[in-house]
Every structure is written in structure tokens, then in C-alpha cells.
A and B are shown apart, each in its own frame.
Chain A
Amino acid sequence: MKLPLPPVPTALQPKPKRPGEGERVKPLDQVKEAGVATVDWVDERTSLSGAARWVMFRKVPKGTNWFYTLGSASLFAFLSQAVTGVFLAMYYDPSITNAYESTRHLTNEIFLGEFVRGMHRWGSSVMVILVFLHMARTFFFGAYKYPRELNWIIGVVLLILTMTMSFTGYLLPFDQRSYWATVVGVNINGTGPMVGPFLSDFLRGGAEFGSTTLSRFYAIHMLLVPGGLIAMIGAHLYLVTRLGTTAPPWLRAKTAQKDTV
């Protein structure tokens, strides 16, 4: 089914020129013309403007409020984690002998290191909290119901991936706290019946906590889970755009009342 594209808002529609102004070309107009020509050149070859309009100019139900920003806030927290994480990786050394020392070095001696690491460290907690609040909003507003069940399921996968990120990232500073927390966390995984013992061996890279454990956690934290997160966020956003958002339940209750009267 192909839906008609929503109209371009009047503020963004091109205005007709005033009579008698057609001849003179101002420098500002030239710059504008160049920009329009570039966008047109790309659009002619990709038809991206339709997609952009489809994503951006959506109908939003009455009663939309600040609670509806929690999803964007989670996305922003993820972007912040991604950017700071990439730059932390430039100084971090995931070897069992240098992990702690390189973390200390980048925190204490690199310009703005404490800030960037602090953003990543506290940002991870912020992201988990925001994801939970976003989930609570979806639950209490009944926004998981038909036709949005699949988006709820994707959201649960995203929650699990976020927790995996928190779990694997916690080991990387390799101090006493992260070491013992990981020992406990891996053993919690091991208590799962039948698969647990093999899961904990897989996580540690062997029967004992060893040098492979750290590099394994680093690879999961840096490469495996972020790829999954980005793909799942893409699917999540696609479904949000496709299905739209729901009105708050108190507003829907009001319309339902009006219908029956």
C-alpha cells in the first residue's frame, strides 16, 4: 500500500517572487541557488527528499507531551556513548597488563580525558535509566498494543543489548571493582540450567578468568553489540515512523466517551 506523502508545510514552500524583482540577482540569492541546485542534484539521483519528508513531517496526535521525548533522549544517550566510546578506544589498551594503566593514563594525564571518560561512564547509567523510563512510558500509555507489538519486542531486544553493553563495559577499567563484579556477573550467567556452564565458559573464554576474558569483553563491547544496537535502533525508528505515535490514554478515553454519547 502506498500512502500519499504529507504536504510540505507552508513555511517551507517556495514563495513566488514579487513583481519587478526578477532581474536583479543578489549575492544571497546566488548562495541560495547554489544550495538548492546541490540538494536537487542529490535528490534527482536518490529521491531522498520524499524519505526525509516521510520521516520528518509526520502527524502527531493531540496531547503529545514531554514524556514522548524519552525515546529521543535514549537515542541521544546512545549517540553520546558511541562518540565518547570511539575516542576512548584511541587511548585504551585491552591487555591484561596495560588495561588499568591505560585507563589511569587517559583519565589523569590526557587533556579532557577525565571529562570524556566521565561522560561515557555516567552516560551509561543515564542511558539505562532513560531506556527504563521510555519503556515505562510505553507501558503505562498502552503504546505497546496493536499495531505496535513488534516495536515493543524490538525495544526489549534493545534493552537486553543495552544491559550487555553495561555488563561488558564494566570490566574494561580492570580495577578491583570491575574484576570482582565481572566474576560475579559471569557466575550469575553460569547458574542458568543446562546452558549456564557453557555460557559462562564462553564469556570467560575458558574455565578460568584469563587474558582472553578482557579482550573478549572488549570485542563484544566495541564491535558485536554496537552493530546489533544500531541495526535494532534503525528498525525501531522505522516502525515509529511507519506506525506513528499514540495519543495519551486519558485523551483516548475522552474521545471514546464522546462517541458513545
Chain B
Amino acid sequence: MADGRKEPKSKYTLDRGMPGAFEGETVTRRNLMNLTAQGAGIVAVSAFALPALGFAAGSALFDRPPATWSPVGPPEDFSPDEYVPRVITAQHGIGQVGKTTAYVRKFNPDVDSPPNPPGIENEFIALSTRCMHLGCPVRYIQAAQRFVCPCHGGVYDFRGDVSGGPPVRPLDHFYTRVRDGQVEIGPRYSVNSEFRRFPSYRDPGEDLDGIGQYMYPGRFSTPKKD
């Protein structure tokens, strides 16, 4: 070993002096048995653990209920200057808990901008009462023309844009349409501070301006807009 280099190791287990080695083997029976047993254990555990994980998280992350439309009254009921509260069922089959309030009015060209991106019916504006700070229900106060949240003091103006407090983006909207002489309220969508529409609605507290729209990705699937 004058040049200080090691001789390359033999690929045969016997030459390497491994315990339990036989002539001509490159893997000892002991190692093979060990790996087989460990591998079988991993397969067996995965066989119940992975489906269980998928069961716990899969439908929560991937399933979306179908879009439903609730009629809330004839178009004459709504004016462009005043909000009318309407209770709709957002989640079926769970009683009172599944209901939510929407504030509905007619599109007002003086304050409202056309839908961005275009392509939806926008004759009526329906705002969700879910506060965009952490999800408490806001209330509309006609005298002040403001939405006010009771939990942490979020305030929104007539359009639903943030005018004070901790909320990170304007109030969510609902899709609206007129069918059979009735205004109907459909699925929810989120908007950012420029009132750009995000069809896959985000949870409260998730900023949708600038880097926020990438930090808070939409859901894997969204209900089709019918």
C-alpha cells in the first residue's frame, strides 16, 4: 500500500468476511431475509395506513358539493341603494347550522365595476356575511352604509370593500341569476381588493392580493358554475 489506495472491495460476501456468508453469494441470506421481512412489514402497514389516511383527508380535500341555487324573491324586491338580507341554505342536511345570510341588492353602475373577469350575470349583487378576518358574521348598518363585524371590529363599505379593521380582503360574493321571475343565489366566490373574481373561494383570513393569491392556493376541485 505504498500509494495509500485501498484495494477495491470484493463483491462476494465470503471475501468480505461477512458472517453467515456462502461461496458465490453477493448478498447474504441473512441480509436478504432481513430486507424481505422489513419490506413485507412496510407493505403490510401501508396497506392499512395509507387507505386510512386517504379516508380521513381525501374527501375533505377533493370532494365538493354540487352547486345549488336558492330563489330569494322577485327582482322588484331589490333596489340598487339598499341591501336586503336573505337567508339561504349553504350546507344541506345539518339544520340551522347550514344556513347563512346574504345581503342582496341590484347592480349599481355608480359604485360597482363590471365583473372581472367578465362572463357572469351581474344584474344583482349578493354579498356573504362571512367576515374576511376570521369568519364571524357581519351585519349591515343602513344608517352608516357599512358592514360591521362583532368579533374583532372589521368594517366594510357599501361595496363590501374593507374600510377598517383586520380583514384582509373584501366580503365574498355569491353568483346571482334570474330564473322564472326569481332572483337566485348560487355558489360563493372570492374577490381581491381590485374586485377580481376567484371562482375557487378562499377561507377568511387569506389575502388574495399580490403574493397572497399564490400563498393561498385554491381548492383542487371547484363546483361547476352550472
Q: Which residues of A contact B (CB under 8 A)?
A: 96-97, 179-180, 183-184, 186-188, 190-191, 193-194, 196-198, 200-202, 204-212
Given contacts A187-B134, A197-B219, contact A210 B94 (CB under 8 A): yes
**B203/A187 in contact, CB under 8 A:** yes
**A205/B60 in contact, CB under 8 A:** yes
**A187/B205 in contact, CB under 8 A:** yes
The one of B95, B135, B206 in contact with A183, judged by C-beta atoms closer than 8 angstroms, is B135
- Complex A-B, nearest 7 residue pairs according to Cβ-Cβ distance, in ascending order: A190-B203, A191-B205, A193-B215, A184-B134, A187-B134, A187-B135, A183-B135
B146 at the interface (CB under 8 A from A): no
Q: Is the interface of A mostly helix, strand, loop or mixed?
A: helix
Q: Which residues of A have CB within 8 Å of B31?
A: none
B36 at the interface (CB under 8 A from A): no
Given contacts A96-B97, A197-B218, 11 further A-B contacts (CB under 8 A): A96-B94, A97-B94, A180-B151, A183-B134, A194-B215, A197-B219, A202-B56, A202-B61, A204-B60, A208-B91, A211-B93
List residues 60-83 of chain B with CB under 8 A from any CB of chain A: 60-61, 63-65
Which of A186, A190, A197, A207 neighbours the largest number of chain B CB atoms within 10 Å of its CB? A207
Q: Which residues of B contact A (CB under 8 A)?
A: 56-57, 59-61, 63-65, 90-91, 93-95, 97-98, 134-136, 151, 201-206, 215-219
**B203/A197 in contact, CB under 8 A:** yes
Nearest residue, chain A, Cβ from B63: A206
**B97/A201 in contact, CB under 8 A:** no
Instruction: Give the distance in Å from the alpha carbon of A210 to the alpha carbon of B56 in the complex.
Output: 15
Interchain nearest-CB distance for A94 vs B (Å) = 13
Given contacts A183-B136, A206-B63, A207-B64, contact A197 B217 (CB under 8 A): yes
